[in-house]
Amino acid sequence: MRSFCKPETSLFYRILMFLSVIFTGLIITYAVFLVVVFAISGFDLAMTNERLAALNDNAHLLRIMQTLQSFFVFIFPPFILSKLFKENSTDFIHLKRPSFSFAIFGIISIILMIPLINALVEWNAGLHLPESMQGLESWMRTSEDTAEKVTTILLNGSSWWTLIVNLIIVGALAGIGEEFLFRGALQSLFSKGLWPNTQSGKMPDWVMHTTIWLVAFLFSAIHMQFYGFIPRLLLGAWFGYLLWWSGSIWVPVLAHFTNNAVSTIAVFLQNKGLITEDPDQIGLNSTWWLCLVSILLLVGCTFYMTKKKNTDHSF
């Protein structure tokens, strides 16, 4: 007798539902944002248009947009998808409580990674396309400059209240949302799509390696910052491995939060004039040797976490 896959287990169906839910989340985000801006503008259409035209220069509106996007595009969709796929959200997103050692090592690994990431950012930013693709490179540079400007406006300010708000929006909400969506939903979607017959035994390692790097590629590409693509790709892969090793989404969430929080705090301290040295220069020039230390320590962390890998999960 011919067997048929249930629709909710089909990879095509899951990808279609994923794109539909994300697209719906984007529509809701922009619709709610327009209503909020309209209300802030005293329901004045001309003032609303003026505020929207200068959106990238308005830190308050950017924070509102980031918050709405975090909830409607990143945090809520994985739970909706788990219902559409008829799966338990705790298992689908891997919401189980992490072990203390994995949580600590996840945080520490990001601190250890700083010199290496700085060196990769510097190298990636210096890459150039062939002369025949100068038009594409010009567009990529413009996109990169726009993204950098938005980040600068978003993190601008030297008040403690600004720091707290940025840590919540850029650190916590972005860390939770992006990990729930990419490592939680997408990593589950692709791994089960590549190996749907979970009843036949443990999922092969090649499936997880393939899934982690595929999701990391999408994670880096979606940021539309091409001259930071390689370091973000490696960060995304590291977050994916943290989930695989620990079995808990909260480990990459903590690591992601740490990464964003370190950058946010560093910019805040620079804004207040409390530090003059650029933290992004750690691992460059005279401190290049810190990259080697970073690599050695990360290898040690990897060895430790793979030995303690939690096998009590659905991977």
pLDDT tens per residue, range 198-239: 555 677 889 999 999 999 999 998 887 788 899 999 999 999
Contact criterion met (CB below 8 Å) for 116 and 105: no
pLDDT band at 314 (very low <50, low <70, confident <90, very high): low
pLDDT at 1 over 60: no
Q: What pLDDT does 230 receive?
A: 93
Query: Higher pLDDT residue, 35 or 137?
Result: 35
pLDDT (tens digit, 9 = 90+) per residue, 51-66? Answer: 999 898 899 999 999 9
pLDDT at 8 over 70: no
pLDDT (tens digit, 9 = 90+) per residue, 81-135? Answer: 999 999 999 999 999 999 999 999 999 999 999 999 999 999 998 888 788 888 8
Distance of CA 75 to the CA centre of its chain: 12
> CA-to-CA distance for 116 and 123, rounded, in angstroms?
11
pLDDT at 40 over 80: yes
Q: What pLDDT does 227 receive?
A: 83
Average pLDDT, the chain: 89
240 by DSSP, 3-state: which? helix
Q: Which residues of 111-140 are buried (b: 16+ CB within 10 A; e: fewer)?
A: ebbbbbbbbbbeebeeeeeeeeeeeebeeb
pLDDT band at 285 (very low <50, low <70, confident <90, very high): confident
Q: What pLDDT does 199 receive?
A: 55
Burial class (CB in 10 A: 0-12, 13-18, 19+), 109: buried
Least confident of 55-59, 137-141, 301-305: 137-141
For residue 162, give Cα distances in angstroms to 155, 168, 181. 8, 10, 27
pLDDT at 280 over 90: no
pLDDT at 296 over 50: yes
Q: What pLDDT does 311 receive?
A: 59
pLDDT at 247 over 60: yes
What's the rounded mean pLDDT across residues 167-173? 95
> CA-to-CA distance for 239 and 61, rounded, in angstroms?
29
* Percent of the chain topping pLDDT 70: 94
> Which range has highest mean pLDDT (110-114, 147-151, 190-194)?
110-114
Beta-carbon neighbour count of residue 69 at 10 Å? 20
pLDDT band at 12 (very low <50, low <70, confident <90, very high): confident
What's the rounded mean pLDDT across residues 292-304? 92
Tokens representing 92 are 């689908």
Q: What pLDDT does 214 receive?
A: 96
Q: What pLDDT does 313 receive?
A: 59
pLDDT at 142 over 90: no
Contact criterion met (CB below 8 Å) for 211 and 244: no
Dihedral sign from CA coordinates of 170, 173, 174, 179: positive
What's the rounded mean pLDDT across residues 290-296? 94
* Percent of the chain topping pLDDT 90: 66
pLDDT at 195 over 90: no
What's the rounded mean pLDDT across residues 36-62? 93
